[in-house]
Structure 1
């Protein structure tokens, strides 16, 4: 019979928490609204607060127990706009099921609008505790925590390709655009864009691997590169049509570990266009490891545009024919 869980573990699994948080000004990229990446950052911060409230802050998990905190899956549905000066009421509700070996949480973000409580985002986050080989645990794990620990994130499954991956060599190589046979094979005839580069340390945590916030940044950057590649560069669209990008849903799942300075192949595929208002893309990430590709992350995002009908009054913009053509016409060149 399993031992009675430590009170801190019971709190993680059973006790809802509420944090009052503010988004970072960094996320205020266009107009007064906060972008999807930083809305997800607030959801992550709320779960970090939940761990602190339970008595298991991530610093103690790492220093005392040798465990790294990793968000391995984040799925968000975005509702009302989150403004740069908003104070968010972030409610974390434990959703871990019996027998699951990952923590699962629902995070709802509420703001006040004209005296009313409005939900601006609803997320599900999955958290794993990764045993860190760099340090030695100072004390045993609290009872009930072991089932949520893992020696490695993912399985390391290899992808067979006809094209032979060749390392770039220099760290600064690959940041521009160049033809790549592996990306060409991954993309094939699909409506996709490809990007190959080396991951810097500033995307990583615990001295080693890319964290979830890093993949949120990668998703944002590949979208920017994709739009520019299709003739829809964000600044130009803003200047000529008055449209700003908006995200309604996003999802990223870590399938394996991506290690600092590994070469990352990111394939960004347009999957659907809905009623000339929204389009959905899929992001698949691979690393070059021992001469083979390993799929380390996957995700999806739903995008549209807002148009400023009157000052500070926004409505969904309907895609014109040129935009639909750009989104649906694959380019032969890859980056």
Structure 2
């Protein structure tokens, strides 16, 4: 990131480059890393306001947690792009600090609007046996003892497999995986970037399970998936080394052009499935025209049938990320 600036109205601006890790096919940046750029803009915004994440934790015991991220991608980023991100306060809905993030990129001498994102931040107090100062007054309304908006738990039927219960009768795919420490922060909680990884991976596993893996369509048709919209909302906390049950449900296929799907994650505690996140993602497919350009295509019958699938399909188990 380059030098950032703040304005008197509470908005901040920072220039951000996408990380090289996110350039997976040709030089385009995937949706997960676009969301990572949004996250970095938010952390820089707090830093400019005098609330750097490290200081908030070390002095006040407050972990900075993004609990809602709703991102629309209007223009694809390439690996050498520089994004100009403007972060502004948004109306408070009573469940944390609300912000908007807008990114632009310069192309052929013109400024193009690239990303619009809505973000919620909560400051989660960590009581782990250490003294902490009183939280800054400006943050008090967003300080919480537990993350999330809450959701109704689901009782696991006696003898039932969690994934089978969660996917039965639905056009869904399920995946169970132990949460590693590197998906967590502030000692034990799965962080938003961890859930973004889950969303990326469950799509990959779902497509492979339906016989239309990303490599299959890439090798045979020069097609790649593209994501114009994604959202994840934290409902409760998932902890390090808990098994996360991730369910990916196709909701709508729109005119052979895009499909939308829901991701729901759960942890099993005392015989009850506790929802920890819910989210949605929109996918299309594009054909690679050259090393820099692609264009959207309509779904063929093979892809359309795979997306519509058969109700009740379930999941791979023990798959590693």
Provide TM-score, normalisation by structure 2.
0.92
Provide the rounded CA distance (Å) in 2 between the counterparts of 1:45 and 1:311: 28
| Partner of residue 254 from structure 1, selected from 217, 228, 234 | 234
Partner SS state of residue 127, structure 2 = coil
Q: Decide which of 38, 41, 53 is 1:43's aligned counterpart.
A: 38
Where in structure 2 are the equivalents of 1:273-312 lying within 5 Å?
A: 273-312=253-292
- More moved, 137-146 vs 217-226: 137-146
- Would you say 1:230 and 2:210 are equivalent positions? yes
CA contact (8 A) 2:184 2:191 kept: yes
| Partners of 2:59 and 2:133 within 8 A in 1 | yes
1:132-164 deviations in whole A, cap 9, x for unaligned?
Answer: 122534422222321110011134753113244
Deviation at 1:333?
4.4
CA deviations over 1:255-279 (Å, ceiling 9, x no partner)? 0000001111111000011110111
Cα distance change of structure 1 residues 190 and 299 upon mapping to structure 2, 3 Å threshold = same
The SS at the match of 2:81 is coil
1:272-298 CA-partner distances (Å, limit 9, x unpaired): 111101111100000011222100000
Q: Which runs of 4+ in 1 moved over 6 A?
A: none
Cα gap change, 1:111/1:332 in structure 2, threshold over 3 Å: closer, same or farther?
A: closer
CA distance in 1, matches of 2:193, 2:257: 27
Q: Deviations over 1:168-211 (max 9, x none)?
A: xxxxxxxxxxxxx2211111111000111211111000111100
Q: Is the CA contact (8 Å cut-off) linking 2:26 and 2:291 kept in structure 1?
A: no
2:63 counterpart of 1:82: no
- Structure 1 42/311 Cα, relative in aligned 2: closer, same or farther at 3 Å? closer
Give the match for residue 185 of structure 1: 165
Change in Cα spacing, 1:25 to 1:237, as seen in structure 2 (3 Å) is same
Q: 1:255 to 1:191 in 2, by over 3 A?
A: same
Cα distance change, pair 236–57 in 1 and its aligned pair in 2 (3 A):
same
Q: Following the alignment from structure 1 to structure 2, what is the Cα–Cα distance between the partners of residues 131 and 59?
A: 13
Q: 2:55: which partner in 1? A: 60
Residue equivalent to 1:103: 97
Q: Which residue of 2 aligns with 1:162?
A: 157
1:50 alignment partner, SS class: helix
Whole-Å Cα distance in 2 between the matches of residues 138 and 311 of structure 1? Answer: 53
Q: 1:94: which partner in 2?
A: 89
Match for residue 112 of structure 1?
106
Cα shift at 1:312: 2.9
Q: Distance in 2 between matches of 1:220 and 1:123?
A: 18
What is the distance in 2 between the residues matched to 1:46 and 1:325? 39
Report whether the alignment pairs 1:334 with 2:296.
no
1:142 corresponds to: 136
Partner of 2:125: 131
TM-score normalised according to structure 1 size: 0.88
Q: CA deviation at 1:94?
A: 0.7
Q: What SS does the aligned partner of 1:46 have? A: helix
Cα distance in 1 for residues equivalent to 2:165 and 2:9: 47
Give the corresponding residue for 1:27: 22
- Which runs of 5 or more residues in structure 1 are unaligned? 1-10, 166-180
Bigger mean CA deviation after superposition, 309-318 or 191-200: 309-318
Deviation at 1:35, TM superposition (A): 0.3
CA RMSD of aligned residues (A): 1.8
Q: From the superposition, tell whether residues 279 and 101 of structure 1 become closer, same or farther in structure 2 (CA, over 3 Å).
A: closer
2-side partners of 1:27 and 1:310: how far apart?
19
